[in-house]
Amino acid sequence: MADHGLIQVIVPQGVYGGNQLTVEVDGQFMNVTVPAGLRPGQLFHVNPAPPVVHAQPGIAFGAPISSAAPVPAVMDDIQILKGAQHSPAIVMAVPVSNSYYVQNYAQNAIMNAPRQLSSIQAGNGSESWGETYSCLSQPLPGCLYVTFCHCCAVCDMGDMIGDQVMVGTRERQPAPNFFNCPSQIQNLLTYLQVSGIPIGLCIGMVTCPDKTWCIYDANMLKATAVALNKSSASPGPCDDPFWQMCCPCTAPCTFCLMYHELKEKRRIVELRPAHGPLA
């Protein structure tokens, strides 16, 4: 192991003073003990160790500190600051021409790290919805798919929303699970009536209120709004997602709008070029 002098390590989430970490430097591993009193996000030094990194519990990756070439402090909207709180991520700093850059895969790992979001945050974004009644301007196959193969379309939309969005208020689930086929069957059963008595509704409101009647569809609208960073929970004309998805005049077109916007976002993400190294 080369002699690099002091190395800085940020205490990862779930690790506190007195716990042990394994640090890798130049392919060599060493056990270090987190100084007493430190909490996740705080910084300490070992000899040797890395530029400021976020280590996973049990392992930290790093490279030496260079006074002549500081580690980049900002990666898009993620800042590496002393005492800052961050989600655990592996960041490997590599010396290149007396400076450091974060390798592509490490940067992408941070940028694409799952961020815990919730459907209850719907409407706090910055993007605007398209028009609810914009069916004529949307590709016809998508509308036909949502209309005549609704179950499959809902599953696809759950997958496009992604498992970083938790849906529901009582028993929260990742979007792909909340909108899969078993969950859709639960929703259908809440419409069950016996002799005109809404048995399904009564049972659903007790056992799975988030999947009862059009509350289920409203949750899909809110989850979509979060995934697409929308500034409102509903595209209108109804401001409340519940009424937007309960109304037979707005629900079908809203489903089509959600599907098209989610699909367009996925297309843009797939075409986005990979980020190069940070200088």
Residue 88, Cβ neighbours under 10 Å: how many?
Answer: 16
Token pair listed for 146:
């949502």
CA–CA distances in Å: residue 276 to residues 103, 108, 113, 239, 269: 8, 10, 17, 41, 16
Q: So what's the pLDDT on residue 30?
A: 75
Report the half-sphere exposure of 186 (CA within 13 A, side-chain side).
20
Is residue 177 classed exposed, middle or buried when 0-12, 13-18 and 19+ CB atoms within 10 A define those classes? Answer: middle
Q: So what's the pLDDT on residue 1?
A: 43
Q: So what's the pLDDT on residue 69?
A: 42
pLDDT along the chain (279 residues), means of 10: 62 79 71 82 69 50 44 37 36 31 39 67 91 82 92 95 91 93 95 94 94 95 95 95 95 94 86 46
Cis peptide before 209 (omega within 30 of 0): no
Rounded to 5 degrees, φ, ψ at 98 are 65, 25
166 forms beta bridges with 118, 174
Q: Which residues contact 272 (CB under 8 A, 6 or more apart)?
A: none
Cis peptide before 70 (omega within 30 of 0): no
Nearest in space to 158 (alpha carbons), one of 212, 235, 219, 109: 219
Chain-centroid distance, C-alpha 4: 36
H or E segment and range at residue 225: helix 215-227
Cα separation, 9 vs 75, whole angstroms? 18
Q: So what's the pLDDT on residue 40?
A: 78
* Torsion angle of C-alpha atoms 89, 95, 101, 106, degrees rounded to 10: -30
Q: Strand, coil or helix: what is 240?
A: coil
> 3-state secondary structure string, 5-19?
CCEEEECCCCCCCCC
Q: What pTM does this model have?
A: 0.58
Q: So what's the pLDDT on residue 276?
A: 39
